Structure 1
Amino acid sequence: MVKGVTSSDRRNDIISAAVEVFAEFGYYRATTAQVAERAAISQPYVYRFFTKESLLVAALELSWQRILQAFQHVKETASPELLEDGFTQAYEGIMHSYRHEILLQMQAQTIQEAPIRAAMKQGVSDVKQFVLQAFEEAGIQEAEARTSDFLARGMLCNVSLALDMPDLMVKR
């Protein structure tokens, strides 16, 4: 191991490489050898931390946590009337800066393996609950319907990103 580089650092390097490789090649075509090469480590070192499936789960968890952290920052800093726009801008920032994570989430929606489905369900549920609670606390009328609309627009953002069709997005 490189001096000064911890196991935690290497674990994070592996997850970051996996996000890119899985987003680029798809879960079923990607290999742990490709992940190892992208992370500049040996394939056995990847297996020290992950199976291929657990690696995808870790990558998905990272992507959902990034969204929740961005939304938490908005909740702490935005006025109630700017909350929804703040969430939208935060998500657009994630789409721009962490494109591979969003593409990875989109691909994972179709994967049937139980741990991967569970990670996706948990991530969507966590974001939905966070947004709903934030809307309710802000006194937004019809918070449940607004949350559903917000999530639906987020899915349209994802399709727009994946297909490189920015014209799908209508600025509010």
Structure 2
Amino acid sequence: MPAAGTSVKSDVRRQHAIEAAVACFAHKGFYGTNTNQIAKLASISQPYLYRLFANKEALFVAAVDHVGGLLSQALITASAAHAKEQTVRSPQALLAAYGGLIEDRNILRFLMQANCATDEPVIRDAVRACYAEQVMLVCELLDGDRDAVRRWFGAGMLENVVATLGLADVAEPWAKTLVGAVSD
């Protein structure tokens, strides 16, 4: 029988490992990151990491689920706050919440890296499930307006490009055009 508190410690270490995985995968992607780097950042041994997760794919899937949960929570919170002020649900309020989330460069880069790792079937399934959850949530938050959902996701993808390339700091007309499209 495990000692008292062992499960809690394991849960905390698991969460630290997932957060470390997001950071490592954000920088080097699924293929460029090894589990030793993640274990080191999480301050655990690599063998212990494999006790928490069966393999690197399972850890990546857990990271996708974690980031998807952060995104869902940010959108729900923004929608609830906006609903107190307005009777009409606002795609802009949701986009602002998304923009706030991707200010964390690790989250932004991880989201992009997750799309790039979909050659792995288990990761593709996890990313698809994450998108499905987000589409259903945004559709619910925008009162079922499917066109608004597509526009919202398109604006979010553009926001990824603007943030990744640091276009807010670029004075070129083409950059201003894209930045303006995000803030409109």
Instruction: Decide which moves more: 72-81 or 121-130.
Output: 72-81
2-side partners of 1:16 and 1:113: how far apart? 21
- Matched residue type, 2:153: L
Deviations 1:103-144 (A, max 9, x none): 11211212211111111111111111111122126xxxxx11
Instruction: Decide which moves more: 108-117 or 145-154.
Output: 108-117
Deviation at 1:82, TM superposition (A): 5.2
1:106 and 2:109 equivalent?
Answer: no
5+ residue gaps in structure 2? 169-174
2-side partners of 1:80 and 1:18: how far apart? 40
Number of the residue aligned with 1:66: 70
Larger Rg: 2
Deviation at 1:32, TM superposition (A): 0.4
Deviation at 1:159, TM superposition (A): 1.7
2-side partners of 1:80 and 1:30: how far apart? 46
Q: Which portions of structure 1, spanning 4 or more consecutive aligned residues, are displaced by more than 4 angstroms?
A: none
5+ residue gaps in structure 1? 138-142
Q: State whether residues 102 and 108 of structure 2, in contact with CA within 8 Å, keep that contact through their aligned partners in structure 1.
A: yes
Deviations 1:75-125 (A, max 9, x none): 2221243522210111111011x3212211211212211111111111111
2:151 alignment partner, one of 137, 149, 152: 149
Number of the residue aligned with 2:172: none
Q: State whether residues 21 and 60 of structure 2, in contact with CA within 8 Å, keep that contact through their aligned partners in structure 1.
A: yes
Aligned length, in residue pairs: 164
1:122 alignment partner, one of 129, 142, 147: 129
What is the TM-score with the length of structure 2 in the denominator?
0.82
Q: Share of identical aligned residues, percent?
A: 31
Number of the residue aligned with 1:87: 94
Root-mean-square deviation over aligned CA pairs: 1.8
